Structure 1
Amino acid sequence: MTGGRLAIFCLFSVLCEIYGKDHVPVLIWNTKQVQEGVPAVSALQYINYGTFQAKYLAAFKPKNILLFLQDALSVEDLSSHASEFQHVRQWMEKSHALYLPNVENAAHLAHDLPSHGYNVVVLEPGVPAAGLDLKQEDNNLVVVKLPTTLTNPSRRRALQKADEVMQNVISKVGEKREFTVIFTGLKPSVEDHSEQYEDRIRVRVSRSLKAYYDDWPIGFHVGGCTMLYLHTNMTINYFRDNDTDTPYRTDIIDESKSSTNGTGDCTNRATIVIKYTDITIGDDHHAKASFEFTFQRKNLVWEFSSVESFSNTSIVYTLVSPDISGIPLGMSYSCTQKIYLRSNDTGSSISELVLNGIQMEPFSSNLGKFSNAWDCIGFFTVPIWASLLVTLLLVTILSVGMYMLSNIKTMDRFDDPKGQAIMVPATAE
């Protein structure tokens, strides 16, 4: 998906606005070096400074660091003004990048890294980057203080100016040395953390992202460490008296009224909750309803186990067909056929949840883009087997015919009109 990295960055930033208070989003990227051993980051996860430095920054093994510090950074800057960060978008798409939604006091790097042997150079606003004094043998930390945005009457223009400064510095400094780049803020620029505000943003996170990014179609959900894409609306079939042949009613769950929330520890269990507002199921109108998809991790593989529905009552749907287990970690599962889950109803009627085409991937550290797919349809399908058998039959017929033609023996002597005729003696019995 084009721009998927930027979309995830904005998602993390939205959630950071909700829960951040003294936490700010951090973006790290390196155009050449791939980070190793980085654990998955939940969108709701808070990261203190020590964890940020020891687990996440250390994964890049940075020798030279380019630290961009903005006076304030929050969701309004990264979602509402995403077009102003056009160079940031390009770097994220082309580099090996890591997004951390809620980091406490990330700017403390400027004071901490000198004690770790880094040669520190500070670029104030308006100072050219061409004359930087970088030591060849030492680790270098270049701290770039971006122009202030809080005192600028046009925040859009201020953010655009910050993006231009980053582009100018990277174009000049990047020629001198390979840098690991960090972009963060000193504090959040939005301080509204009321309970009503948090609830409103929770519901609108996925919907606003889908509206902003055309390449995020309706039905694509990201939460925690899990991605899920519903090709079409889910349906619920209802049957009477255990008669599962013909449903007496079918409900369609409208994906255009959905939002996403991810939970779970993302270690051995991961869940993603799809929430719906103002939908009708059967004869009942629901102001809120949700479906929780649960995934289990077993060693190096994962499996999809169940879906739990919450509205007026809780209903657990367990997988009937096909079997979705043994999927290697680092791979997504894709299926264009229908997936059936049966409810645990004990009454005279039962219900069936039908997923009409799906792709999903839990325990992912690269949110926004699915990994290679493990398809529910194997390579040797019935049409392929039929084609192979017909081809084999035709090749066999052709081979037998060629063999028979190659064994036809012709005469090795012929009559000469000017000579004596060939006499073939016949022996009478």
Structure 2
Amino acid sequence: MAAGSRLVWPMVFLSFFMAAFGTARSTAQVPLLMWSTHGLPPAASLSAGHITSNEQLASYLGLAFGSGAHTVLLFLQEKLSKDDFTVFAGVFGNKQDGVFPNLEALLRSSVSSVTFPAVAWSPSASTAALLEELLGVSPALVDADTLSRMDVDASVSNLLIINLPYCISPLKSCQEVLCDNDAMIAKVVRTMDDKKVPYTAMYTGAQPSQGISSPSMAAKQPAIGRSLLQAVVPDIKPPIMLNVSGGPCIMLWAQNLNVSLSPTAEWTDLAAETPSLEGSTCNATNSLLVLSYPSGFNLRFAMSQRFYPVSARNWFTLDWVQLQSNGSMASFVGSHAISAPAEYSFHCGALRSFRDALLVPNSTEESVVDWRLNFIDFQIQGFGLANRTEFSYASDCAGFFTPGIWMGLLTSLLLLAIFVYGLHMIMQLNTMDRFDDPKGPSISVPQSE
């Protein structure tokens, strides 16, 4: 391996954990690393000092394990903090200096990996309990030897917990214990690879390994100095992703999914809830995304693709959107503008069923005729994802000739017409062909009385 490639991963590896170094020390937290043999939904970019709450972690894991059977390997170390990576990973993170060479190699070589530098920790909440609730199975405590003799059924969900010690042995240094844990992780993963069972692995701590310092009094003072120059990066929720056969099939993201059951009723933002994807399907020509929300609303997005000889390529369209509530259903047909090449995604700043509507109501029942949709910063892709964990290039619903562009063009044409007219008038000026001769007789003009 080239020297440059040896330096890139350790710098990225350490930067994730240094990102939470500032204000994160005032709250109990543990790092969490995930990697998988199949696709994982992308995590939102984290600002410096951000601590992932239990609700945010539960929302992300709900997307990752929302449907189908999953085998999860939870490497649960007795204690773990980001300092264990920054102190013992070595200056360059190579095998001579660091204690996590196998872990680094697994994160590099996996199909997808996600890192949470700081996850909020409390004695009453644990990652194991959260996974047990999401997967609906009881955990099994295993190690590399017992796992090699087990029959792991990939058709059902499995939660396998591998407990790892921390630096409490008087016979070994902390660095040696972490090296042994790194070797145990590699041994367990090799056993799963030999069994040819797809899995998702997680490495975290049962509790923080470092004492949490109390927040300083300075942190309670109002921000001064360069606070106006500092940019605050808002939390970005991950997209809704349907995984089929180990890979993503449909992706949807929206800042707001507002629905209303009457023109005077308040809007309900479904983007703030975590939906169930049960009933969603996709194939080479048709995709159906079913979002069932705890509040009782259901959204259905139907897409299809076909080949158009004129453009010599496949295009996909959003055929219709259905909103269900309390046994009633309203249907909205997508206009021709909701389309994009099959390998692209579709994006629209405001996808509405009223006022410049791209979703045309198609319901005749009086009880649902006033239902409305208003999707803000909406993006969807139902085809061409393959193993991608992010949207493809987006085809936007906004036309090229917007009102602002038309105003600029008309103003420019008016000024150009004035310029051309003035230039034409200047070019039509002619010099006089007769002048007064001061040495000759003057020109007399008779005057009549």
TM normalised by structure 2 equals 0.46
Higher share of residues assigned strand: 1
